[in-house]
Structures are given as structure tokens and as C-alpha cells.
Amino acid sequence: MALNLTHIHHVALICRDYRASKHFYTQILGLPIISENYRAKRQSWKLDLKLPDSGQLELFSFPDPPARGSHPEHCGLRHLAFGVADLDHAIQHLTDANIDVEPIRIDEFTGARFTFFPDPDRLPIELYETQDGSN
């Protein structure tokens, strides 16, 4: 019997520099803050951000988290991807904020355009252009 999953509720990320990551996700990507809490026992911030589809991004900070390999490809979560209606506009916004964006690629199966850029901890983030901003 299937689980009847309805949606992704949240994605959790651990960051090294909380202030830099908070700025990146709220000011550069424009994700609204739902709540922000400091957990003294863990010396950890937890920032809940609202995603465009009503899901959430949980941003955690911990003292001295170990680095996670990303290049070459490692097993596990590869990247976080957001759909955008206008890839050129999104790239211009990022480059205006001094974010390095990779050259545009074309999805060989859908023909859609996409690109990648890093967050402050070098986590790859993808922007995938869709006709209506979905999928």
C-alpha cells in the first residue's frame, strides 16, 4: 500500500556562517522568514523560511559542522532546485548581487533552460526555467 505522500513539507540545511546564509536566503533569494529561534543547548540557530509552494526551508547553524563533499558528485542530496519563469532575469539578479552563476544549460529531455550557483556553503542551487513558473 502506498504512503499517499502529499507534498514536501520542508528541506533542512546546515550552514557554517549563519549570518551569511540568512542574508543569502532572505535577501538574495527573497524567502520570507516564518520564525527564527536560538537553541542555546545546541548553540544553534533554526531559521524557518517559506518556500514559494508553501513548503519550508529549515536553516540550521551548528558550531564547526563538518564539510560535505559535493564535487565530484557524492552520494546523497545533490542540490536544491527552484523553478523560475524568467531565467535571464533571475541570473541578472544573482550576478548583480555578486553571485557566480554557471553558464545556462539545456535539459536534454525537456528542452528547458537551467543553471546552477552556490549558496554561502557551496551547496549547489539550481534554477530551472518553466513556462508557467511551476514543475
Q: Does residue 10 carry a pLDDT above 80?
A: yes
CA 61 to CA 39: how far, in whole Å? 10
Please report which confidence band the pLDDT of residue 47 belongs to, taking 50, 70 and 90 as the band edges: very high
Short-list 81, 89, 22, 25, CA closest to 53 = 81
Parent domain of 19: 1-66
CA 56 to CA 10: how far, in whole Å? 4
89-110 pLDDT per residue, tens: 999 999 999 999 999 999 999 9
pLDDT of 77: 77
Q: Which of 14, 34, 66 is the last residue of a domain?
A: 66
pTM over 0.75: yes
Q: Where residue 2 sits, what CATH number does that domain have?
A: 3.10.180.10
Structurally, the chain folds into a number of domains equal to: 2
Q: Does residue 2 carry a pLDDT above 50?
A: yes
Same domain? For 62 and 83 the reply is no
- DSSP per-residue string spanning 49-93: EE-TTS-EEEEEE-SSPPP---SS--SS---EEEEES-HHHHHHH
CA 33 to CA 126: how far, in whole Å? 21
Grid coordinates of 90: 533571475
52-74 pLDDT per residue, tens: 988 999 999 988 888 777 666 77
